[in-house]
Structure 1
Amino acid sequence: MPTTHTSPHTSPTTDAPTTTAAHYIKPGALDSLLNGVVGWLARRGVSLMGSAQLSVLGRTSGEWRGIPVNPLRQSDTTFLVSARGHSQWVRNLRAAGGGRLTLGRAVRPFTAVELSDAEKPAILRAYLERWGWEVGRFFGEVTADSTDAELLAAAPRHPVFRLTLADGRGGR
C-alpha cells in the first residue's frame, strides 16, 4: 500500500520555503515493478498509452536518473504532471531545469518551467481525463469531473512542468 510523506520544500523559483508541505506517495513493490517494465519498454521504443522515459540529472549524484512518465500534449505544449507529488524526479527537475524524454532511439532534450498552482487546474483535468484510470488513486477524491475549485485545492500536491523541447517544439 502506498504511503504518504510530507515535508517542507522550497519554491521552484527561490530557495525560500513555501507555506505548504510537500506531498508524496511512495511507490509500493507492484508500482516499482510496473515502472521497471514500462521504462524498459519505452527505452526500446514501445509506448504504453503515450508513456516515455524521463531522465534527469540527480541533484546530488550528478548522474542520470530515469523513470517512466506520461507526457501530456495539449495544443503545441507538452507538460509533465507528478501524480505522486513532490517525488525525487520532481526535485531533480527543479534543480536541473531540464532533462530528456526517450522513446526508443528518439531522445528529446528539454527545458522545464514549473507552473504556479493557479495555472494547474486545466492541465490536471486533461491529465486525469487521459490517465485517471492509471493515476486516479493518487488524487484522492479529485477526478476529471471535479470543479475548478477542487482541482485548484489539489494543485499544491501535484507539481506540473511546461516543457520546451530542444527542437523548439513543446513550449508556448
Structure 2
Amino acid sequence: MSSNADSAANAGEARHYRQPGWFTRKVANRAVALVNGLGLSVWGSRMLEVRGRSSGQIRRVPVNLLTLDGRQYLVSARGHGQWVRNVRAADGELALVLGRRRSSYQAVELTGPEQVPVLRAYLVKWKAEVGAFFEGVGPESSDEELARIAPRHPVFALTPLR
C-alpha cells in the first residue's frame, strides 16, 4: 500500500466513532453518573473529567477504568469520540471521580502492539457491555485480530499525579 493510501486509512481510523444512542445518553449514562456520585462503581466505572477542547469547560462522561498488571487504563470502545479528543487536547490531563474522591492522572495514548493486551483484558471484563463495538473481535481473538481493530479504539495508560 502506498503512503498516501496508508495516510487515508489512518485518517479513516481516526474518525471512527459510534455515537451512543438516546437510551445510552439519556438513561444509562445518567444512571451510572448518579450511582458514581453516591460513591459506588458499576463494574469499574468512574466519571471522567477533562477540559473541553473548544469551550474550556469541564466535561464529564462515564468510563470503565481497567487495572491490568498494576497499571490503570482507559479504553474508548466507541472509537475517537469527544472525550478522547478532549484528553488529547488537554495533553493527557484528566481526573477520575467516584463519589467525593477525585484522582488526577496523566494519560499517555498507547499505539500499535502496546494496545493488544489492554484491549484483550478490557474485552474479558466488559465484552457483554461493549462487544458490539469491536466488530466481532473478542478476548479469545488472536493478537493479529486485536491489532487490526486497535486503531479504532484509543487506549490510554494512566499515571497518578500527586
Paired residue for 1:71?
Answer: 65
**Identical residues among aligned pairs (%):** 47
1:94 aligns with 2:88: yes
Higher relative contact order (CA 8 A, sep 6+): 2
Structure 2 unmatched runs, 5+: 1-6
Q: Which has the higher strand share?
A: 1
Residue in 2 that maps onto 1:53: 47
Aligned to 2:10: 19
The residue correspondences of 1:118-137 to structure 2 (distance < 5 A) are 118-137=113-132
Amino acid at match of 1:144: P
Displacement of 1:133 in angstroms is: 0.7
Aligned mates of 2:97, 2:115 — CA distance in 1: 25
Which residue matches 2:147? 152
The root-mean-square deviation of aligned C-alpha atoms, in Å, is 1.5
TM-score w.r.t. the length of structure 2 is 0.90
Question: Cα distance, 1:18 vs. partner?
Answer: 7.8
Q: Distance in 2 between matches of 1:120 and 1:138?
A: 16
User: 1:59 deviation in Å?
Assistant: 0.4
Aligned structure 1 segments of 4 or more residues deviating by more than 4 angstroms: none
**Residues paired across the two proteins, number:** 152
Higher helix share: 2
Runs of at least 5 residues in structure 1 that lack an aligned partner in the other structure: 1-15, 168-172
- Please list the CA deviations of residues 43-100 of structure 1 after superposition, one character each: whole Å capped at 9, or x if unmatched: 2211111111001000011010001110100122100000000000000000102110
Q: Does 1:28 align with 2:21?
A: yes
**Residue type matched to 1:66 in 2?**
R
Checking the alignment, whether the CA contact within 8 Å between 1:73 and 1:79 is kept in structure 2 is yes
TM-score normalised by the chain length of structure 1: 0.85
The amino acid across from 2:88 in the alignment is R
Distance across 2 between alignment mates of 1:110 and 1:40: 22
**How far, CA to CA, are the matches of 2:93 and 2:108 in structure 1?**
8
